[in-house]
Amino acid sequence: MHQDTPAEVPATARGAVAIITNRRGELLLHLRDDLPGVIAWPGHWSVLGGGCDPGETPAAAIVRELDEEAGLTLRHLTELFEIRDEHGSGQLVTFFAANWDGDETSLPLSEGVKLQFFAPEHLDILTIPPFIRTGIHRYLAARPA
């Protein structure tokens, strides 16, 4: 018997991240905890975000994750594109963009080591997950000069 959609095929795990920039064009990055075997990309600089809960949309997940991880509520989140984290969680990750001009050292960080703004020209020296680096480069290439 032929089945078009086998019940055993799991739904694609999804995630959402936010590329947050300030008025100087710097990007807010999050240094992840160094917990190999516990989290994807331990000890790497990344952008804020995380996995979607069951039934949760990426748009809802990014709002929740920004609040949970850093106490951030951003009014204007723009959906950009999706990239799969092929070498980490395997999730299909939706990238969002937002602007925020606050002091990152004042945020109540609940996960990870620290938050810091970096100028785009300084990103090459940081250890960043490949799919995040790809997303940042796509975002910067499409940004008006």
Q: What is the pLDDT of residue 11?
A: 63
Q: What is the pLDDT of residue 10?
A: 53
How many Cβ atoms sit within 10 Å of the Cβ of residue 105?
10
pLDDT digits (tens, 9 = 90+) for 55-83: 999 999 999 999 999 999 998 999 999 99
pTM for this predicted structure? 0.90
pLDDT digits (tens, 9 = 90+) for 7-41: 444 568 999 999 999 999 999 999 999 999 998 89
Residues 34-44 as b or e (16 or more Cβ within 10 Å = b): eeeeebbbeeb
Rounded to the nearest 5 percent, the helix, strand and coil shares of the chain are 25, 25, 50
Q: What is the pLDDT of residue 75?
A: 86
Quick one: 14-142 is in which CATH superfamily?
Nucleoside Triphosphate Pyrophosphohydrolase (3.90.79.10)
The residue extents of the domains of the chain are: 14-142
Cα 36-58-120 angle, rounded to 5 deg: 65
